[in-house]
Structures are given as structure tokens and as C-alpha cells.
Amino acid sequence: MASHVIHVEVLGKDARALQGFYGDVFGWSFDTDDPTGYGMFDGDGDGIGGGIGPSNDGGAGHVTFYVHTDDAAATLATVEARGGRVLMPLTEVMPGTMIALFADPEGHVVGLM
């Protein structure tokens, strides 16, 4: 059996602010019933679930994952409105496949497809 991604994770200095950012950008809701402030989101049957929480050492944290959106241009506009930055605008990487990269307010790089 081949390996496949089953969970994604974003760790950072301010877990609550990051949960608010990703909640606004992608419409995710979080179960934050965890004393550390770690919030889990569900993949809604079509996607991969994951979690967003504080970094273990209080440092900047890390993340890298790609998210499919129906309207990547609108998503990038929301990213910028919420304090993120577009690092690579929508770019065709192969016929019919567009990607973009952005950084969240803490600098984590995320891809859109």
C-alpha cells in the first residue's frame, strides 16, 4: 500500500490567531477542546483533516501543504485582506493545473491548487 497524507498541521506562536486566519480563508471550524489550544479541523469527507496549535518550543513553527479551492483568486484576495502575502500568483504548472503560494501572517508557506 502506498503512503498517503492523512493529517496536516500548522504550528505557530499564536495558535488562536492562526485558527482565526485559516477559518476565515477556508471556512474551517476548529474543535479546540484541548488544554494546549490545539484545534482540530475535519476534512469533511472530501479532504484531509488536521490541526493548528502552538509550536512546541514557542518558536515560529512550520507548515507546508496544498489546498484545493474553487476560486483561488478570491482565496488569495482573502489571504491578503487577513494579513497574509501572496508569494507566487496563480501560475499554470501543467495544462489545466494552476498553483499559487502564499504566506500566512506568521510566514508559513501554503500552496493553492
Angle between helices 15-26 and 72-81 (to 10 degrees): 150
Residue 16 lies in a domain: yes
Query: pLDDT by residue (tens digit) across 87-107?
Result: 999 999 889 889 898 999 999
Structure-block grid coordinates of residue 5? 497524507
Residue 2 lies in a domain: no
Q: For the domain that residue 96 is a member of, what is the CATH number? A: 3.10.180.10
Residue 1 lies in a domain: no
Contact 43, 5 (CB under 8 A): no
Residue 68 lies in a domain: yes
**β partners of residue 8:** 50
**β partners of residue 60:** none
d(CA 18, CA 22): 6
Higher pLDDT, 4 or 108: 108
Residue 23 lies in a domain: yes
Residue-range definition of the domain harbouring residue 40: 8-112
State the pLDDT at residue 3. 61
Residue 48 lies in a domain: yes
Query: pLDDT by residue (tens digit) across 41-93?
Result: 998 888 898 899 998 777 778 877 889 888 999 999 999 999 999 999 999 98
Query: pLDDT by residue (tens digit) across 34-46?
Result: 888 899 999 888 8
Count up the domains in the chain and report the number.
Answer: 1
